[in-house]
Amino acid sequence: MTEAIHHFIDGKPVSGRSTRTSDVYWPMTGEVAAKVALADAADVRSAVESAKAAQPGWAATNPQRRARVMMKFVDLLNRDMDKLADRLAREHGKTLADAKGDIQRGLEVAEFACGIPHLLKGDYTEGAGPGIDLYSMRQPLGVVAGITPFNFPAMIPLWKAAPAIACGNAFILKPSERAPSVPMMLAALMIEAGLPPGILNVVNGDKVAVDAILDDPDIMAVGFVGSSTIAQYVYARGAANGKRVQCFGGAKNHMIIMPDADLDLATDALIGAGYGSAGERCMAISVAVPVGPGTAERLLVKLVPRVESLKVGPSTSLDADLGPLVTKAHLDKVRGYVDLGVSEGANLVVDGRDFKLQGYENGFYMGGCLFDHVTPDMRIYKEEIFGPVLSVVRAKDYDEALRLPSEHEYGNGVAIFTRDGDTARDFAARVNVGMVGINVPIPVPLAYYTFGGWKRSGFGDLNQHGPDAIRFYTKTKTITSRWPSGIRAGAEFSIPTMK
């Protein structure tokens, strides 16, 4: 029997009012594994009402006690790591090792949120003026929401929800309908950890649910991760409705390989960052930029056999390098981009389009693809493919290599591989991209820094996790205080000063 996945509202699973559903697949077999409910506006409103009723009591709970709930939640994540990873791998398609990494990077943000008593401390100035003290405090926004993508079903929901909840907000999560199970499991673990019902609600759905979130007057802030087109839509509609909004979109991440680079290290980096998770990462390296013809030829000698020997296997395999893509529709889209690259004149050095896995012929598999002689005018260079496809764009010199990521419309992540400290320092300072790796292919900052891209990769002025998350999910109140013993008689008609 096909499993039914509903919503999680007021501390328990609920079926909701809408009768619409969507198929959830096991990508490694192509089978329909579940039917997920697609919420209507009334279902979203039910979650908001639950959150609105619970939030004042949670905000009044002191930060130390909120931190203890988060600490217990971290313990439960570690306890259930294998179970969560197995479900995530089966439903998304990424390997078990990659699924554990997905959960771990989310867990680390929950660990950061355990420091909320310190993170919420305000400022205090005694004697700012005659008998006047000045201080500030951070207070929660109220009910906030997160709209998260299929490719990180644990990490990004935790990046959004953990800081928001620790700050004293109630949170509405709308995960991807393609991978809804793990977010539901996370919500149940939050309740087990001691979170009051209503503080974390999960509403599954599609654009109908998204629009209901963006239009609901009781939702004060919305965070989003997905494609740039939808990110811009969410940002514009949410802001037009008076909400605080942060949205993160697509990417085209370059890796610059300088002539002095360790090519074995660079090749390992390209293989892992380009083809891990079948390329379904917003921080995947999709463009390799060798500098100089000699560098390109030496790199390809090492890179081509590695791409040809990639191990594609079922998500539960312990020795697979990558698993299947998330859906048949996405597989067809990625294959279509490879077809396009061939028609545009790029040299398809390794062709994985027709890969079939024995015993899993109906799964959504694709082998690694490698293009050479890709040029900046090609669509396969301009657009995000989100699959196991790496493009080699040859740069004649360092200045051209620097311009490529700097002038691209996306600005999420970039990496440079070199042994030269001056080159690395100059690149980090000048490149027009939000996150930079130096001999690090996927420069995702740790939880106590912030994550976010520039240009069409990010909309809004605050990033995810780290100190920016605390700023995003709270509002600052500043108090100027003077007691009667320090008050001079008489009205003052000019603007107050400390002169």
Q: Which residues are catalytic?
A: 282
CA atoms within 13 A on the CB side of 347: 8
The answer to whether the CB of 77 falls within 8 A of the CB of 103 is yes
Q: How many residues does the chain have?
A: 499
Q: Say how far apart CA 225 and CA 239 lie, in whole Å.
A: 16
Residue 129: other Cβ atoms inside 10 A: 15
Rounded to whole angstroms, the Cα distance separating 279 from 300 reads 19
E strands of 313-424, at which residues?
Answer: 347-350, 369-372, 389-392, 410-411, 413-417
For residues 270 and 303, is the Cβ–Cβ distance under 8 A? yes
**151 Cβ partners below 8 Å, 6+ apart?**
92, 277, 280, 281, 282, 326, 386
The SS3 assignment for 462 reads coil
Q: Are 193 and 72 in contact (CB under 8 A)?
A: yes
Please choose, from the candidates 180, 175, 178, the residue with its C-alpha nearest in 3D space to the C-alpha of residue 161. Answer: 175
Helix (H) or strand (E) holding 299, with range, is: helix 293-308
Whole-angstrom distance, CA of residue 441 vs CA of residue 158: 23
Among candidate residues 274, 440, 434, 445, the one with its CA nearest the CA of residue 369: 274
Name 225's Cβ contacts closer than 8 Å, sequence gap at least 6: 147, 148, 149, 152, 156, 231, 247, 248, 282, 464
Nearest Cα neighbor of 421 from 439, 403, 404, 445 is 439
| Orientation angle between helical segments 398-407 and 421-430, nearest 10 degrees | 30
**Are the beta carbons of 134 and 481 closer than 8 angstroms?**
yes
